[in-house]
Amino acid sequence: MRITSCGMTDVGMRRTHNEDNFLINDDMRLYVVCDGMGGHVGGEVASAIAIHTLEETFSTISINSADVAAGADLVDISKEQLRFAVRLAGKRIHETAQQERRYMGMGTTCLALFVNERHGFMAHVGDSRGYLLRDGEIEQITEDHSLVNERIRAGLLTPEEAKTHKMKNVITRSLGFNEEVEVDVDMRPAKVNDTWVLCSDGLSNYIETEEINEIVLANSPQESTRKLINLACERGGDDNITVVVVRLDAA
């Protein structure tokens, strides 16, 4: 399959500094969105460390064909490769924060997609979101690691109430806060015409899931990213906004 992708980030309408970072590497088939936190300096540094660590890990650690030939499960290997890269990023951010006082408390969300010829693997920590568009429908693949989402699951809040809750930006899992972090990894078979959307909460806080579906289905990845960011800005743009769109085409 051939991949068509595009990513964009925008400071938004209220902020003066962009702490988001993203990666598009079509050669590795690796795509990442990170939403940093920790102040003017720390958030940008944390998200950049995560991006660089994932790209470095995938460039230096390749799946051993001998292991596959010996019966190792390619799916399991790919899952663990992605999980390892995200956890390593968390360790590096934590170590940097411990070594340099000005970075104390910094962290980042991390949403990473790796696509091979048969499967798409998505790893995430935090509340950046990943979606899969298939056969005209959209599914949110990730589940927010956030305080309001925990309360929704417990039946204490409705999804509508969560949108305006004063604690809606409090996340329960991030890279850098602790040395170790639990990483959720999802795997889906890859099909021609599948489209993956990765975004920071600066987008998902303003645009409904079905609106994302409509815009992405009707436009190219390049047009989709710009239209999504413009719409989030028009609706307030209180946060940095980042979106990556990845479409699988026939070879």
Which has the closest alpha carbon to 35: 144, 141, 131, 114? 144
DSSP states of the chain: -EEEEEEEEE-TTT-SS--EEEEEETTTTEEEEEEEESHHHHHHHHHHHHHHHHHHHHHH----HHHHHTT--HHHHHHHHHHHHHHHHHHHHHHHHHH-GGGTT-EE-EEEEEE-SSEEEEEEESS-EEEEEETTEEEE-----BHHHHHHHTTSS-HHHHHT-TTTT-BS--BSSSSS---EEEEEE--TT-EEEEE-HHHHTTS-HHHHHHHHHHS-HHHHHHHHHHHHHHTT--S-EEEEEEEEE--
User: Which residues have CB under 8 Å from 60's CB, separation 6+?
Assistant: none
The pLDDT assigned to 67 comes to 52
The pLDDT assigned to 243 comes to 98
The pLDDT assigned to 41 comes to 77
Number of domains in the chain: 1
The pLDDT assigned to 42 comes to 92
Residues spanned by the domain of 93: 2-249
Q: What is the CATH number of the domain that holds 55?
A: 3.60.40.10
The pLDDT assigned to 70 comes to 46
The pTM score is 0.94
Angle CA 88–69–113, to nearest 5: 35
The pLDDT assigned to 64 comes to 54
Do residues 244 and 33 lie in contact, with contact meaning Cβ atoms separated by under 8 Å?
yes
Q: Which residues pair with 122 in a beta bridge?
A: 113, 186
User: Which residues have CB under 8 Å from 232's CB, separation 6+?
Assistant: 10, 12, 202, 203, 205, 206, 207, 241
Do residues 138 and 213 lie in contact, with contact meaning Cβ atoms separated by under 8 Å?
yes
The pLDDT assigned to 159 comes to 80
If the chain, 251 residues long, is cut into consecutive pieces of 10 residues, what is the mean pLDDT of each piece? Answer: 96 94 97 90 94 96 55 80 97 96 94 94 98 98 93 85 80 95 97 97 96 98 98 97 96 78
